[in-house]
Amino acid sequence: MDPNWKFSRRQGACAHCEQDFVEGQTVFSLLRFSDEALQRGDLCSDCFDQREAEKDLFFWRTTHQEAKNRSIQVDFDVLLMAVQKLRQDPRDLARDLCFLMALLLVRHRRLRFLSVSRKQGKEFLHLRKVRTQKVFAVEVRELDEDRRQRLSRALTDVLDPTREQNWESLLNQVQNSVESEEDASAASSGGPLATPLGEG
């Protein structure tokens, strides 16, 4: 089964069979790439079991709640899963999204910024998941304003951000913070970048 999903924002019905979800029903939410677009589909259990799993970027399980009963929030556990998955994907779109998601997780203190390094001509942020010793690297991506705005809109559609702040304002805040940390790291080390680390 390869559903031709026509939407990316969370809906109240299965993306494949179009059956309406009911309160408390188990729903599987999937992300995947379609050409150069990030696509989301919410599936009932039966359609989820019949999907072509190799197309998944990643998925998570939720319980359907009617809109009047739920507040829309960023799901940081989903973002953490996405960053771990996207780090392994060589496509430019995947690396761009990984960088943006990692910045948001730093902003909301789910990841701690440790240092910046250069390896094979690329810069990497070295991050640690809070309350763990797990350290990993995320490639720094140079995004022009247009691409950044388009990626921000895509994330807004698929991951249900808070109503109070949009992705673009959050990204502006956190990128400024990270750039300040980079400058401080360079000044303290006496050079433009910290000593290179492994991509962990």
Q: What are the pLDDT digits (tens) for 129-152? A: 998 998 989 999 988 888 877 777
> Do 17 and 39 belong together in one domain?
yes
Task: Please state, in angstroms and rounded to a whole number, the distance separating the CA atoms of residues 12 and 3.
Answer: 16
Examine residue 194 and state whether it is found in any structural domain, yes or no: no
Asked whether residue 36 carries a pLDDT value surpassing 50, the answer given is yes
Side by side, the strands of the sheet bearing 58-63 are 37-43, 26-34, 58-63
Q: Measured at the alpha carbon of residue 66, what is the angle toward residues 60 and 68, in degrees to the nearest 5? A: 125
Examine residue 86 and state whether it is found in any structural domain, yes or no: yes
Cα 65 from chain centre: 23
Give whichever of 56-60, 98-102, 165-169 has the largest mean pLDDT.
Answer: 98-102
Give whichever of 7-16, 40-49, 181-190 has the largest mean pLDDT.
Answer: 40-49
> Do 20 and 82 belong together in one domain?
no
Closest CA to 5 of 49, 62, 56: 56
Q: What's the start-to-end Cα distance of the chain, in Å?
A: 36
Q: How far is CA 92 from CA 12, 77, 95, 139, in A?
A: 31, 23, 5, 11
Give residue-wise pLDDT tens across range 41-78: 889 999 999 988 887 877 888 888 776 555 445 578 87
Which two three-digit tokens encode residue 79? 């973002």
> Do 133 and 160 belong together in one domain?
yes
How confident is the model at residue 179, as a pLDDT?
A: 55
DSSP state of 121: T
With the C-alpha atoms ordered 181, 187, 188, 193, is the resulting torsion angle positive or negative?
positive
Examine residue 30 and state whether it is found in any structural domain, yes or no: yes
Q: Between helices 145-159 and 92-107, what is the axis angle to 10°?
A: 70
Examine residue 195 and state whether it is found in any structural domain, yes or no: no
The domain of 181 spans 76-189
Q: Of 70, 85, 117, at which residue does a domain stop?
A: 70
Output the average pLDDT for the chain: 75
- Conformation bin of residue 190: beta by default, left when phi > 0, alpha when psi is -120 to 50: left
Domain count, the chain: 2
> Do 92 and 145 belong together in one domain?
yes
> Do 102 and 174 belong together in one domain?
yes
> Do 7 and 56 belong together in one domain?
yes
> Do 54 and 82 belong together in one domain?
no
Per cent of the chain over pLDDT 90 is 20
How confident is the model at residue 138, as a pLDDT?
A: 94
How confident is the model at residue 163, as a pLDDT?
A: 39
pTM: 0.63
Torsion, Cα 161 166 167 170, to 10 degrees, reads -120
